Structure 1
Amino acid sequence: IQGGLVRIRDIARVELAAKSYSHQSTLNGSPAVTIAVYRSTGANSLNTMKEVKNELERLEKRMPEDIQYQVILDTTKYVSAAIHEIEWTLAITFLLVLLVNYVFLQDWRATLVPTVTIPVSLIGTFAVLLALGYNANTLSLFALIMAIGIVVDDAIVVVENVCRLMQDENLSPKKAAIRSMEQVTGPIIATTLVLLAVFVPVAFMPGITGKLYKQFSVTICTAVLISTLCALTLSPAMCAVMLRKPRLARHGPLFWFNQALEKSRNFYVTGTAFLIRHLVIGLLLFVTVIGGTWYLFSTRPTSFLPQEDQGYLFLDVQLPESASLGRTGQVMERVTGEIRKIGGVQDVIGVSGYSILSGDADNVGLGLVILSPWDQRQLPNLQLEAITGQIQRKLASISTANSFAFAPPPIRGLGSTSGFDFRLLALEGQSPHELSGVTMALMIAANQDPTLNRVFSTYTANTPQIFININRTRAEYLQVPVSRIFSTLQAQLGSVYVNDFNLHGHTYQVKVQADASYRDALSDIKRLYVRSTDGNMVPMTSLATLSTMLGPQSVDRYNQLTSITINGGAAPGYSSGEAMAALQAVAAKTLPEGYTHEWSGMSYQELKSSGQVVILFALALLFAYLFLVGQYESWNIPLSIIISVPVATLGALVGLWVAGFSLSIYAQIGLVLLVGLASKNAILIVEFAQSRREDGLSIAEAAVEGGRIRFRPVLMTSFT
């Protein structure tokens, strides 16, 4: 000024400070900086977390003494716990299979033959999965658990038949093994073809359902193929070398078991003969089974994936519009403090100024509730649903904010919350205030429905805003570029990046902004000046008119239409499919003309896959039937095998009904597997009945004899 030196400190306050003041974080009430680390696409979660922890340990050595780091949320703990549970279940399943084989065969040599099939099949399956680039995740390990019982079935058929021939026909182990393979090779191949016919088409299903089925299908098919190879080669060789003539127990628990087994077989044979003689009764029973199966199948509530306890919860906190960040921080401090008092809660992170549902805003907050380890939450009041209910009651007592607690989605990336993801769409460009009114009416009606629970939306159209209407014609006349008007507003009301400078070996950004007292009111904007191209300072009031208004914080679009997200869940005792149907019914009654709705996230995937269970089941039956037609070169014999499927399906659906489970993806996998397993047991009986028919017995006598001979192996394969 007038040739004198003016320093920046003479006209401004200069400080080293945070890059952004839009967020504030706390951990258990203490100030913190939160850092989120995500794995890259295709990376292994467990390996990524291991590398992150190693890097943090390395960086800790360079941190100041008063700075500590703590890994609060580690999503791989859930993965590790799930895999550990599956591995433990795998071991228990192996022991149970071993026990079943010994109880029925009562010879450790005979027990060893099918048991050897398990590690051989599992190792071979892991080798194939490794070659295909699959990880040992929950789906593949879940498939291996189910495969353990399947892979021993063929070997059980072989060794049981060898033992039967050695006992009934007094054959040597070698001759019994040769004779046995002449009898059971056909059934083993037929059962393998049926299982492949069921699961191979499933692997090619489109969408996320196909992704979930694919690895499961590949694992099962691989294990079945390897076990079949073992049953046709390794098992008969071991039988010929290792087996000795069976010795039946004459006393003790095994003797009692044999007596009970013989009585059960006699009862079964008598019942079978009775139904064969009275075909009308058998037909009526079969029609009843078909009717019961159809009724339970059509009335069972559906869902995509059941809600799982992943060890943490989210909180969404929303204060009144225009609430300051400081006020939000105070409310978040109270919220996190109340939640820390709840049993089963280990840590609570509070973030002011950000929400995973509504994004960045001064009046919103995010809470991350880390629960205690699963082994410390065995009591009913420490389960996920119970803790969520306690948190919701605590949040309801805080009247200064609208707050919600919700679990993460079962599959990360498909939505932000658990429950449903409903999108209200405006077809005619309705105003934000009209959208807000319709949304509120829909939520009020939805929360009165007993099927729905905690229906909410973060949308609001009452955020105070300043509308600046620039007179572009006047700006051009005064030689003021519109871009300079925008840059002036940004520098005064926000901040402007200038350059970088170095200090103590670190690079810092230089940002310029008006002090808080000069950007606090509407009058502060009116006092601004903008430099024209000829160097004159033009007042902002000469270039624009200012007015206040109310509007939404953000405008979302879904399929190019203005949309509002509504979240919620199913009430206790109801499935997600029932909740979606209930909300659709409420929307049909409540929404005026000019509005429609769509589903997103997990709800969209559930809706997309809702009709696939029928298609899956029908395809499994069709392919199994066609493979059996080719195997037996007959259209009639496979029907006697396929009709066993409805009986097994009825039992599965009754089990789901008694347990109160919905027809989820996991239940659908079980039903598809059931087609193969039911057919597998029927094949064992039909194959031997056909053989007896060729020996000259009548159809009825052959059927009864086939059931009698195969009663024990069918029970063994069913138990395993």
Structure 2
Amino acid sequence: MKLTEVSIKNSVGTALITIMLVVLGGYALVGIPVSFWPEFVAPTLIVIAPYPGVGPEEIEERIAKPLEEELSTIDGLDELETTCSDGLCKIAARFDWGMDFDETKIKVQEQTNKARSRFPRQALEPKVLQVQDFIPPGIELAFTSEKRSLGEVRDFIENKIKNRFLRLSEVATTQIKGGYESHIAVKVLPEKLYAYGLTLGQIAGRIAAENKDVSAGKIETDFKNRFVRIQGRYRDVEQLGEMTIAIVNGAAIRLKDVARVTFEPKEKLSVTHLNGKEIVGLAIREKNGGNTVAMCNQVKDELERVRKILPADIQVRIIRDQSLFIVSAIRTVVQNAFIGSLLAAVIILLFFGSLRNTLIIALSIPISIITTFILVSALGLSINTISLGGLALGVGMIVDSSIVVIENIFRHMQQNKKDRLNTIIEATQEVGLAISSSTLTSIVVFLPLAFLVGLAAVLLGELALTVVFALSISVVVALTVVPALSHKLMVVHEKATGIRKIFSFWQKWFEKITAGYKPVLRFCLRHRLLILFGALLIFAASIVLIVPQLDMELLPSINEGEFNVDLELPAGTRLDITRQTAEQVEEYLLKQKEIEQTYTTIGQSPIIGETKSNMASVIVRVKKVYVAEIKNIMERVRNYCNTLPAVQTVVKQVTSTAGMKTEPVNVRLGGSDLQVLEEIGQRAVKAISAIPGVVNLKSTIQQGLPEYQFKIDRIKADQLGIDYNDIITGLRQSLLGSAVSRFSAYGEEYDITLKVADTHLRTINDLLALPVRSRRGFTVPLSTVAHAELGQAPAQIKRYDQVRVVEIKADVQGRSRRAVLDEVHQKMDQLHLPSDYFITYGGMSRGIRDSFTSLANALMIAIFLVYVVMGTQFNSFIHPFTIAFSIPLAIIGVLGGLWLFGSAISTNAFLGSIMLVGIVVNNGILLIDFIRQLRRRGLEKEEAIVEGAATRLRPVVITSLTTIFGMLPIAFGFGEGGEALRPLGAVVVGGLATSTFLTLFIVPVVYSLMDRLTRSH
């Protein structure tokens, strides 16, 4: 190879180019964004449509159905999941992976706007949000003060602090939690309205008309134009109370005559606690697909500047910072890769017994990896646990080519047949084609990943590219840098001296192994069918014995040292009652020695802008020394929460998977009649809850909400000249209130909120006594044209693809997810549904099915591509099948590795299997290539097989051991976030270990059988 010859003869140029690439790689590394998972945009958009004060059934009919009809026309839509609750419609529109996110969001907004034209006038403007708005924020701050009220602290954050963080380039949104907002409350007394013949609508219109500044034009004076402005806005509460709202019998009726006007806090909709004490929180989220670490660093830098302007009595602290875990997890992968590199270097040192020769190979690792970062940066990829895990795996693979080259150079130089330069060139040329082909097989297995769909494509794309870059560079390094360094540094000792003497025992031991390998191989060649039958038996036994013991999951569970305790009380529960329950749970948690911090949000669901008085969520942080025991701690907390009366509890780990993981059990029962659905759902809940291993069971079946149903006598209303819409508006404004104008005070803007005083709305009779105004100018009590009946409404309506459903979700603990899911399916098959009712499965079971099907197809394509490469290299249709026998041999170790390291079959395990296809055939390629060379030199078939296999035994063992030991730290999953890559490491370590051992015997046996077919062909 001319490239090798040039690199040796121009060693200075080779050194300078290598140094330049390493420097550029280091420079590129500094600017690459860092995240836990690869950056991606989840193909889901959430439409939030508020309609305050309206029950789920009316929300379904007047909001959900118009939205669903419009959204269902968008191309690429996969499913619609709708939740209709008190005053809110939420629709999750899930699209195919790989969608153009920005274009799809525009289409969703357009269709939402179309549906908006069909909404009732009182419905609020719908919002289109993305999944990132619903996951835990990257960083959260807590503000407290010993002097100021929480309302004042909140106002300070709103007006002085929030926008400072919003201006940061990496920040997308901020959300203030807790505290309270102030407003001007105009609390109307119904009896005064009736006495003066007024309605809320009249007062609202009067305030809106009077409380405003108006420009009246301009006037020319003193040769200047001066604008004329009428200042009509009220400047203090007393002045607002003096406002004239009507003239009755010649007397001015002022606002204070019919209402109490006060500056006070708004009704609390949510409460935030830190370690049981009330605070005001500020949640800060990164941009869609953004860099969490960079965002958190920006926020922390800005926070230091904010501290300088904070009043002395306001304290702020960081209570959650996801970047700490991400950086720690990245550091873990780097450390594991470094440990793997050291272990690989020790293996090399054992076989070569020379620090100088080991250094030649070891240098190829940092050169290849650091140079890879140039391409990673150029393509805009990120550094994350998955891509770095690929490089950590590549540590063993990267040195494979260098090991084969230097081992062959070492062997040729021991023979000392020619001068040093030509010996190195000849030795490199001898294996150049083999290592290029074997590396190509490792690379082509990643091509099918380009055709993946679903979550697998998102997760594995960057890893595939990163490993391909590193392997491609490693071949170039092996054919240029390694020969050049060997020419300058390699030593060949005839005698065992220095460090070589220390490792001479290993050399002698391996020589004995090589000598013993030959007769064993001869035995195998003479009993070929027996050996093949034995291998087949081992393969079948591994399938039968191990597969049933393995679990299945979409993604590995990551222990971040935090878990959630989600509490849901019966629908309609008041905030103060929910708060008491949450405080009871907080008190229990803070008494546990393992708990470091609790962060509680009461009355606010994860949806931005949605409040639910019956919900609370506690994020619990475990002390570092107890993180490994988190599952036991969670089980203890779950058992305690299960003792709380009338509380649905979900206790689960906080995860960084950003919406990628779902509950293992997700059952949807569909049909038209809600009562029938709930009856079937109750039977399903009972059946699923009885399955061992099911925890955190939660269903959408809820006790109905009591409601007063008003019946309007339309004929009588028409006779009296009372408009139907005026009745609706009056009732809504009386109960819900409305912001009718804005008020400037204390340098800030506040709402003027108009509603009937709560003290005068205690009973249904108070409502019926509210005045309703006729178009003829008189007022009558509401009871004149309406009466109320007590009824019941559903607390929530769930819909899936425009059909009503009951949804049941649960987690699995202490048992195989696959076993539990199989049992769930069996139980559901026994429900015997009426016609037109159906069962579908979502969540993890659907995700596993879609991703695993895609990955299995990729695995088959990878095997075919490897066959194409080998067939091209050997110019044979038959010999690639010889080497392909390494693949089923690897499956034995794949299953054994997953079982041994306690990992489940997952997306990462499938990736490891795909990568393994490219790795395990390399040993076979080395064997068959050299055996064929010896045949061409005139050796008989059996002698060529034995001598060729024995000669290649050393490089095969070295390359396999370096890859295995390089991956061991990852297979054990050491450190924070190590669980993410454990399945990948377990698959490679187990698969390569068994395939290497069996390949040394099975591939030669199969070759001897196949050779006859080749000859006849």
* TM-score (norm: length of structure 1): 0.93
Q: Could you report, residue by residue, the CA deviation over 1:183-228 in whole angstroms, capped at 9, with x for unpaired residues?
A: 1011111112101221121133111111112111111111111111
The alpha carbon displacement at 1:327 in A equals 1.2
CA distance in 2, matches of 1:29, 1:252: 66
Q: Do the aligned residues in 2 keep the contact of 1:173 with 1:239 (CA within 8 Å)?
A: no
* Alignment-mate amino acid for residue 191 of structure 1: S
Q: Aligned-pair distance for 1:504?
A: 2.5
CA gap of 1:533–1:273, structure 2 versus 1, over 3 A, is farther
Aligned pairs (5 A) from 1:323-342: 323-342=573-592
Moved more, 63-72 or 46-55: 63-72
The alignment status of 1:254 with 2:498, answered yes or no, reads no
Instruction: Please say if 1:390 is aligned against 2:636.
Output: yes
Distance 1:106 1:609 in 2: 46
Map 1:394-405 → 2, pairs under 5 A: 394-399=640-645, 401-405=647-651
Asked which structure has the greater CA Rg, the reply is 2
Identify the structure with the greater strand proportion.
2
Q: Which one-letter code corresponds to 1:84 in the other structure?
A: R
Write out aligned runs for 1:480-495 (5 A).
Answer: 480-495=722-737
2:347 to 91, 95, 100: 100
Contact 2:666 2:844 in 1 (8 A): no
**Aligned counterparts of 1:668 and 1:716: Cα–Cα separation in 2:** 25
Q: Aligned with 1:43: secondary structure?
A: coil
In 2, Cα distance between equivalents of 1:126 and 1:421: 41
> Structure 1 residues 199, 46: CA separation in 2 closer, same or farther (over 3 Å shift)?
same
Q: Partners in 2 of 1:20 and 1:184 — Cα distance?
A: 78
Cα distance in 1 for partners of 2:539, 2:906 equals 22
Does the C-alpha gap of structure 1 residues 644 and 524 become closer, same or farther in structure 2, counting only changes over 3 Å?
same
1:424 aligns with 2:668: yes
Equivalent in the alignment of 2:770? 528
- Following the alignment from structure 2 to structure 1, what is the Cα–Cα distance between the partners of residues 487 and 593? 61
Quote the Cα distance in structure 1 between the aligned partners of 2:845 and 2:256: 57
State the secondary structure of the residue aligned to 1:465.
strand
Matched residue of 2:939: which SS? coil
Residue aligning to 2:959: 717
1:529/1:30 CA distance change after superposition, 3 Å? same
* 492-501 or 360-369, which deviates more: 360-369
User: Residues 166 and 22 (structure 1 numbering): CA distance in 2 closer, same or farther, change over 3 Å?
Assistant: same
| Counterpart-to-counterpart distance in 2, 1:44 and 1:97 | 33
Match of 1:367 among 608, 618, 623: 618
In 1, the alpha carbon distance for the partners of 2:477 and 2:920 equals 22
Contact 1:342 1:390 in 2 (8 A): no
Alignment counterpart, residue 446 of structure 2, candidates 191, 194, 199 = 199
Deviation at 1:96, TM superposition (A): 1.7
CA distance in 1, matches of 2:524, 2:955: 22
Counterpart of 1:287? 536
Hey, what's the Cα distance between the residues in 2 that align with 1:629 and 1:321? 67
Distance 1:346 1:9, change over 3 A: farther
SS at 1:249's partner residue?
coil
- Which of residues 916, 926, 939 is equivalent to 1:674? 916
Q: Within the alignment, does 1:149 sit opposite 2:390 as a pair?
A: no
- Residue 690 of structure 1 aligns to a residue whose secondary structure is helix
Q: In structure 2, what is the Cα distance between the partners aligned to 1:337 and 1:368?
A: 14
Query: 2-side partners of 1:162 and 1:312: how far apart?
Result: 54
Counterpart for residue 892 of structure 2: 650
CA–CA distance in 2 between the matches of 1:611 and 1:179? 46
Change (3 A) 1:178 1:464: same
Return the alpha-carbon distance in structure 2 between the equivalents of residues 326 and 136 of structure 1.
46
Structure 1 contact 317–365 (Cα < 8 Å) conserved:
yes
Q: Give the partner amino acid of 1:337.
A: E
Residue of 165, 175, 184 corresponding to 2:422: 175
- 1:606-685 → structure 2 map (5 Å cutoff): 606-685=848-927
Cα deviation for residue 466 of structure 1 reads: 2.6
**Take 2:280 and 2:289, find their aligned partners in 1: how far apart are those partners?**
28
CA drift of 1:292 comes to: 3.5
> Aligned partners of 1:318, 1:350: CA distance in 2, in Å?
13
Is 2:308 the partner of 1:58? Answer: no
**CA shift for structure 1 position 397:** 2.8
User: Residues 385 and 586 of structure 1: is their aligned pair in 2 closer, same or farther, counting only changes over 3 Å?
Assistant: same
Q: Is 1:210–2:460 an aligned residue pair?
A: no
For residues 17 and 421 of structure 1, the distance between their equivalents in structure 2, rounded to whole angstroms, comes to 47
Question: What is the percentage of aligned positions where both structures have the same residue?
Answer: 26
Distance 2:539 2:694 in 1: 33
1:315 is matched with which residue? 565
DSSP 3-state at the match of 2:316: coil
- The letter of the residue matching 1:256 is F
- Deviations 1:99-154, CA, capped at 9 Å, x for gaps: 22222111122112222211221122111111111111111111110111111110
In the TM superposition, what are the counterparts of 1:106-117 in structure 2 within 5 Å?
Answer: 106-117=353-364
Give the letter for the 2:930 counterpart.
F
**Paired position in structure 1 for 2:757:** 515
The C-alpha deviation readout for 1:653-712, integer Å capped at 9, x for no partner, is: 112123342211121111111111111111111111111111111222112112111111
CA distance in 2 between partners of 1:31 and 1:144 (Å): 46
Checking the alignment, whether the CA contact within 8 Å between 1:344 and 1:372 is kept in structure 2 is: yes
Instruction: Tell me whether 1:588 sits opposite 2:829 in the alignment.
Output: yes
- The 8 Å contact of residues 499 and 510 in structure 1, kept in 2 or not, is answered as yes
Question: Root-mean-square deviation (CA), in Å?
Answer: 2.5
| Partner of residue 267, structure 1 | 516
Q: Post-superposition shift, 1:494?
A: 1.0
Aligned residue for 1:553, secondary structure, equals coil
Taking a change above 3 Å as real, the CA distance of residues 618 and 275 of structure 1, as seen in their structure-2 partners, is same
- Read off the aligned partner of 2:787 and give its amino acid letter: T
Counterpart CA distance in 1 for 2:701 and 2:308 is 45
Partner in structure 1 of residue 58 of structure 2: none
Contact 1:203 / 1:218 at 8 angstroms: preserved in 2?
no
Cα deviation, residue 11, structure 1: 4.0
Unaligned runs of 5+ in 1: none
Is 1:559 aligned with 2:806? Answer: no
Q: Tell me, yes or no, if structure 1 residue 550 matches structure 2 residue 792.
A: yes
How far apart are 1:392 and its partner, in Å? Answer: 0.5
Aligned to 2:482: 235
> Which shifted more, 520-529 or 589-598?
589-598
Q: Deviations over 1:234-293 (max 9, x none)?
A: 212221222122355368541221122122222332222211111121221232244245
How far off its partner does 1:409 sit? 5.1
Distance 1:603 1:508 in 2: 50
Does the Cα contact within 8 Å between 2:451 and 2:858 map onto a contact in 1?
no
1:369 Cα offset (Å): 1.6
Deviation string 1:294-337 (CA, Å, 9 cap, x unpaired) is: 44686443221122112322222122344321111111111111
Unaligned runs of at least 5 residues, structure 2: 1-247, 963-1017
Structure 1 Cα separation of the partners of residues 879 and 546 of structure 2 = 27
Contact map agreement 1:555 1:562 (CA 8 A) in 2: yes
> Could you tell which deviates more after superposition, 294-303 or 626-635?
294-303
What is the match of residue 82 of structure 1? 329
| Structure 1 residues 166-192: Cα deviation after superposition (integer angstroms, max 9, x where no partner) | 113454432321121221011111112
One-letter code of the match for 1:413? G
